[in-house]
Structure 1
């Protein structure tokens, strides 16, 4: 898929996905309590208090059957739902970026992360990675984690099992060539998970990671709005979803420059998860 078509398709698919409902409680690394996330102290504390954003309308209720996660020696378990939070000591959070890498925006995001010595996760589309292999090499050099976001950003729930495997496996291959190792994490486009995606992800050695705080930056809501959504949702274990590709991401670039130092000043530790959760 061409990089500037991702936003158009996302909007077109949104209406059909809303009918499926928002995701329910998922299996998580650190189980969510349902409590309102704490606001960070420091410069952002004086901002107007708002209720946390509801779950993304396009995040589907996983259709995965029953029973505990199935395990196979040497592989991650077959999850019934994606992981939403991370465990860690103290005020640990994870920043994640989807739909890239894009040579127009990803380098600026990497520059900001490097300036503050922060690591993040990038869920890349294989087609974009093939065009920007040097950016994946830079991510490896600077300690970031690269995850699988499929090759062409399709709605996985509309594909056959064979097509899902192709989307995921091709992306694993290009990540290995450009980044230096195969990905340990994957994220379904549009947050649309199903049983096949969980099973195939496990077979390919990957854990499914969703998010806790959605900036909705792909809607271009304004830099200030993105900043507020991150700061208002900040809490230990939170996974923040932003984008570095798929459209004009200049607001995402500017927002990161504003909220990242504020989170650090508030005592948050921005890190990346271990290769696989315990």
Structure 2
């Protein structure tokens, strides 16, 4: 066995020499004795916390002196990033509406014909009443605007999707239906912003119309709405259906207030809206029989 020891030692030396030669050829170690860029898998010696480190050897790539990164790898990485940054075209931003001093009260004269009217419904969606209203609108091929509250929308996203699928427009009516002038600006930003976010997540697009609860507007509401890309839309005829005055009274208010450019306010949530459901099934065919055309609002030029 003793006679084998020199042989084993020679074999070990040979294996070590072969390893070092291969490693040097692959760039894994530096055999020049000049220091320079550490190779892949090497660990640079720790230096003092302050003061410059050893000078890096000049090289053809900006990666020289970067621990653990080969120049070729660094070059390839930066090449892949360039098309995603400097050469990528900037996404155009949609123009924001001007900040208004008062809401839109009727359909713009430039887009409304002598027979155009707009039906709007606030406070929903409510699974007890909204589907029936949607059924009536679908029966007569009519589209409307639904100003939704975020706390209702987040629990009934399927109804939001149905609205959009059937050609209706979804507007923003805040999250909890508060009296806006009593809110701080940060609270109002949350009320409006959260509602737009829920709608966008549900249907893929954020609202472009905003309506203040109770019609109580202030400067902050106009500013925040414009910042979020929305126009303020109010109404011309208030059915006061939230007071539950009776189906006949609701129908009478709509028919007597009908006219070119009129915006009708009704509700599909916020209380017992069975009278509102019954009323639309009565006044809608009568409006159509009189020659009125139910339309959707058109955004003013920006």
Unaligned runs of 5+ residues in structure 2 are 1-92
Q: Of 253, 259, 266, which aligns to 1:235?
A: 259
- Structure 1 residue 220: Cα displacement: 0.3
How many Å separate the matches in 2 of 1:125 and 1:259? Answer: 25
- Structure 1 residue 145: Cα displacement: 0.4
Q: Does 1:180 align with 2:222?
A: no
How many Å separate the matches in 1 of 2:94 and 2:291? Answer: 38
Q: Does 1:84 align with 2:101?
A: no
How many Å separate the matches in 1 of 2:300 and 2:258? Answer: 22
Q: Does 1:143 align with 2:164?
A: no
**Alpha carbons 1:137, 1:180 under 8 Å: kept:** no
How many Å separate the matches in 2 of 1:129 and 1:111? Answer: 19
How many Å separate the matches in 1 of 2:191 and 2:161? Answer: 21
In structure 1, the residue matched to 2:224 is: 200
In structure 1, the residue matched to 2:282 is: 258
Q: Of 237, 243, 258, which aligns to 1:213?
A: 237
How many Å separate the matches in 2 of 1:265 and 1:181? Answer: 34
What is the root-mean-square deviation in Å for CA atoms of aligned residues?
1.1
In structure 2, the residue matched to 1:34 is: none
**Alpha carbons 1:139, 1:179 under 8 Å: kept:** no
- Structure 1 residue 180: Cα displacement: 2.1
- Structure 1 residue 179: Cα displacement: 2.4
In structure 1, the residue matched to 2:127 is: 103
Q: Secondary structure of 1:113's partner?
A: helix
Q: Of 256, 270, 278, which aligns to 1:246?
A: 270
Which of the two has higher C-alpha Rg? 2
In structure 1, the residue matched to 2:192 is: 168
Normalised by the size of structure 1, how large is the TM-score?
0.73
- Structure 1 residue 158: Cα displacement: 0.2
How many Å separate the matches in 2 of 1:253 and 1:180? Answer: 28
How many Å separate the matches in 2 of 1:208 and 1:128? Answer: 21
Normalised by the size of structure 2, how large is the TM-score?
0.67
How many Å separate the matches in 1 of 2:269 and 2:205? Answer: 22
How many Å separate the matches in 2 of 1:186 and 1:149? Answer: 6
**Alpha carbons 2:123, 2:267 under 8 Å: kept:** yes
Q: Relative to structure 1, is the Cα distance of residues 134 and 214 closer, same or farther in structure 2, using a 3 angstrom cutoff?
A: same
1:34-53 maps to which residues of 2 (within 5 A)?
A: none
- Structure 1 residue 90: Cα displacement: 2.5
1:49-128 maps to which residues of 2 (within 5 A)?
A: 74-87=95-108, 88-128=112-152
**Alpha carbons 1:140, 1:180 under 8 Å: kept:** no
- Structure 1 residue 177: Cα displacement: 1.2
Q: Secondary structure of 2:272's partner?
A: coil
How many Å separate the matches in 2 of 1:79 and 1:73? Answer: 18
Deviations 1:141-187 (A, max 9, x none): 00000000000000010001110000000000001111221000000
**Alpha carbons 2:113, 2:261 under 8 Å: kept:** no
How many Å separate the matches in 2 of 1:142 and 1:187? Answer: 22
Q: Secondary structure of 1:131's partner?
A: coil
